[in-house]
Amino acid sequence: MLTFVIVGGGPTGVEMAGALSEMAHATLADEFRRIDPRSARIVLVDATARVLMSYPENLARKAQAKLEQMGVEVRLGHPVELVDAQGVVVKGQRIRSRCVIWAAGVQASPAGAWLGVETDRAGRVKVKPDLSVPHHPEIFVVGDTAYIEEDGRPLPGVAQVAIQSGKYAAHVIRQRVKRGSPPPPFKYFDKGNMATVTRGFAVVDSRFLRTAGFIGKLGWAFLHILYLSAFENRFIVFFRWTWEIVTNQRGARVIYNSESPEKDS
């Protein structure tokens, strides 16, 4: 019951592993009567050779070292062969767990099957440079359902790609309605990647900053607060995060039924 298996070593898996470790060893350490959360076993599994494959290798290594320092078991190079009610099987070895968290990506929507067009192995529709479907200029596919290639590599399924591709498709449609000249092919503006491992450690990979550690966490926090609406929201989040870092506390607590069935009659 206290073994947690996270499948996928991308930003989602790394952040989940770090959050679970912090909760087990700090936030909820003294919240239970019958169990010790500090004895929790957290296993991060990925089929690739390292975590955070989309990040520079030196930053990924630092993130992995931080996770291992926190007690997370990182198993790389072997895919998960089976997931069932008893846990997972990796490289023929059973890891018993009642909580398996899938962070290795999802299947795209069946839009490609509806349209009967070419897709990649994840089901994403291979679109043209203007994000329209081949032989169907009236149909556009954007976001996680679109396979968009740039410089010979597919763009990642992240929010910024979805936002920018959606805005671009809207611009193409607007130009067609106005009978204006078509815009140039879609070009993704990479604002960088960030992954937070703990409350004091994050990985930042951008054109302006490449670092892992506390400086990365400050950069991560600054950008997240910057994009919040209203000064009041920014102040509240800044104060809450500062309090959590200083006191090593989170707003997470255990809710339990005080009317125990084992109570003496």
Task: Return the active site residues.
Answer: 15
Taking alpha carbons only, the member of 1, 23, 19, 21 closest to residue 11 is: 19
d(CA 172, CA 184): 9
Q: What are the contacts of 31-34 at 24+ separation with CB within 8 A?
A: 31/253, 31/254, 32/254
The CA angle 158-11-248, to the nearest 5 degrees, is 125
Give whole-number Cα distances, 56 to 51, 64, 213, 214, in Å: 10, 13, 14, 18
Q: Which residue's structure tokens are 């291979």?
A: 126
At residue 201, the 3 state secondary structure works out as strand
Q: For 207, list phi and psi in degrees, rounded to 5.
A: -70, -15
Overall residue count recorded for the chain in this entry = 265
At residue 253, the 3 state secondary structure works out as coil
d(CA 200, CA 70): 12
